[in-house]
Amino acid sequence: MSDERRLGWPVAFLLVAVAAAVDDCVVNKSSLAIPAGAWAVQVREDLAFVTGYLSNSLVIVNVSDPSNLVVTGSVQSDENLPGPTGLALSGDLAFVALELATLAIVNISDPKDPEVVGTLDESAEYPYSYSVAADGELAYTLSYDAATLLVIDVSTPREPCVIGKVSGNSLKGAGDLVVIDDIAWVVSADLPGLTAVNVSLPTEPFIISTVQDMTYLDGAYGISVQGNFAYVAGYYSHSFAILNISEPGAPVFLGAVVDKQHLYGAYSVTVDGDRAYVPCLDGKSIAIINISDPNRPELECVIPEVMGGRYVAKARGHALLPSYDSNSLLAFAHFEHSGMEWTSDILP
Ligand SMILES: *[C@@H]1O[C@H](CO)[C@@H](O)[C@H](O)[C@H]1NC(C)=O
Ligand SMILES: *[C@@H]1O[C@H](CO)[C@@H](O)[C@H](O)[C@H]1NC(C)=O
Ligand SMILES: *[C@@H]1O[C@H](CO)[C@@H](O)[C@H](O)[C@H]1NC(C)=O
Ligand SMILES: *[C@@H]1O[C@H](CO)[C@@H](O)[C@H](O)[C@H]1NC(C)=O
Ligand SMILES: *[C@@H]1O[C@H](CO)[C@@H](O)[C@H](O)[C@H]1NC(C)=O
Ligand SMILES: *[C@@H]1O[C@H](CO)[C@@H](O)[C@H](O)[C@H]1NC(C)=O
């Protein structure tokens, strides 16, 4: 069987950039000490929200002056925030995925005094939740070990409850998701691949497509969506891939960068205009990728010496990154790059 048929998309058209030389980005850096185990970050206006995995906390940081980050408020609870990982913001609320439970809902209307208002623990049956999406009265999370997407009614934040779920082999190692236009796009590290789940009827979500691949999606831990494109980080494949998802039933690969040196342990993707920011957990770096041509993404430069960074958010032209290893929030201003050489190869 040809690769083309086995993989189910026209590999011949996939462009893969191969790095010749990639410069370090020129950056200004600042940092702020925060409670232990900084994991994920989300930004809204002047405020960054950061989960503290080891400290069972959510910290809110004023980032209006990125060279002078200041803690605004925080909430800590061993009982209600056990192992906080991913988070999503919606209205007055922050939704926090919990590795050791399922979900916590935090009222952030007063950023000086955030308060946990509701929790949900389905971890006996659906363990290890690493990501959450929230849209109005619904939240969506995943169970990494039970290969399941959970749809949660959060219309009464004090009493979140599961109203729908779907499990499947293609959700094995499900670690990250984005929900857009009634489709939950889920990346799974173990299968590995990208799965589209139709959530238009929240009580009956169903899988509509799965793209599997070892070269570009192995250990797919992170996904971001902008327009018709999905951007996926492959942790084991040391890769960044762009897929056309305008037809959710049949996503198509467009371009990718596979680079064991500069994308070592690529963990997640944050897209901002023409650039993608890819924190590489094992490479201890952030790769900045030019995505202005989705068929030909190009590694622009790399921010080195970033310890334990899983996620990036953009605020005021800066890249914010929680550093798990240094219990801090880092802010980088990225100014220029020059002298990069680059070649691209078309696969046979
Ligand atoms: C970098 O940071 C330093 C110290 O805060 C500041 O003086 C300098 O203007 C910054 N560089 C740029 C290009 O903004
Ligand atoms: C952030 O800090 C700035 C400067 O101190 C202040 O003007 C602003 O009100 C603060 N924003 C929030 C949301 O607290
Ligand atoms: C959040 O807290 C504020 C202030 O206590 C309250 O007015 C608001 O109703 C709360 N929001 C939710 C969704 O619980
Ligand atoms: C999702 O399912 C609904 C209900 O079955 C259907 O109307 C809709 O077209 C589906 N969306 C996609 C993108 O498949
Ligand atoms: C994405 O797919 C749609 C539908 O097949 C197509 O019209 C569009 O041109 C594609 N975009 C790119 C950039 O390939
Ligand atoms: C990004 O790539 C496009 C071509 O695809 C190029 O025109 C543009 O200058 C690049 N941007 C940067 C910041 O390198």
Q: Which residue's CA lies nearest to atom 1 of ligand 1?
A: 28
- Distance from the alpha carbon of residue 182 to the mean position of ligand 4, in angstroms: 8
Task: Tell me, in angstroms, the distance from the centre of ligand 6 to residue 266's CA.
Answer: 22
pLDDT of the residue at 335:
73
**Does the structure show a pLDDT above 90 at 172?**
yes
**pLDDT value of position 16:** 53
Exposure string over 239-269, b if 16+ CB within 10 A, otherwise e: bbbbbbbeebeebbbbbbbbbeebbbbbbbb
**Separation between Cα atoms, residue 190 and residue 18, nearest integer Å:** 25
For residue 108, report the distance from its CA to the centre of ligand 3, in Å: 8
Residue 342 has pLDDT above 50, yes or no: no
Protein residue whose Cα sits closest to atom 12 of ligand 5 = 244
Residue nearest ligand 3's atom 7 by CA: 109
Average pLDDT over residues 102-129: 98
Instruction: Give me the percent of the chain exceeding a pLDDT of 70.
Output: 91
Ligand 2 touching residue 34 (CB < 6 A): no
Q: Which residue is closest in CA terms to ligand 3's atom 10? A: 107
One-letter amino acid for residue 115 of the chain: E
**199/197 Cα distance (integer angstroms):** 6
What's the average model confidence in pLDDT over 11-20?
A: 49
Query: Which homologous superfamily does the CATH classification assign to the domain defined by 3-346?
Result: YVTN repeat-like/Quinoprotein amine dehydrogenase (2.130.10.10)
Atom 14 of ligand 2: nearest residue by CA position = 62
Note the pLDDT of residue 336.
56
Q: Which ligand 6 atom is the nearest neighbour of the CA of 290?
A: 1
Q: Which pLDDT belongs to residue 5? A: 34
**What per-residue confidence (pLDDT) applies to 22?**
86
**Residues within a 6 A CB radius of ligand 4:** 182-183, 198, 200, 208, 248
Best substitution site from 89, 92, 113, 119 to test ligand 3's pocket, by max atoms within 8 Å of Cβ?
92
Residue 73: count other Cβ atoms within 10 Å of its Cβ: 17
Domain ranges, ordered by start, for the chain: 3-346
Residue whose CA is at the smallest distance from ligand 4 atom 6: 200
Considering the entire predicted model, what is its pTM? 0.91
Distance 246 CA to ligand 5 centre (A): 7
Among the bound ligands, the one closest to the CA of 294: 5
Average pLDDT value for residue range 8-29: 63
pLDDT at 334 (0 to 100) = 80
pLDDT digits (tens, 9 = 90+) for 25-77: 888 899 999 999 999 999 999 999 999 999 999 999 999 999 999 999 999 99
Residues 6 or more apart whose Cβ sits within 8 Å of residue 196: 183, 184, 185, 186, 207, 208, 209, 210, 245, 248, 249, 251
Instruction: Give the pLDDT mean for 131-159.
Output: 97
Pick the ligand that lies closest to the CA of residue 65.
2
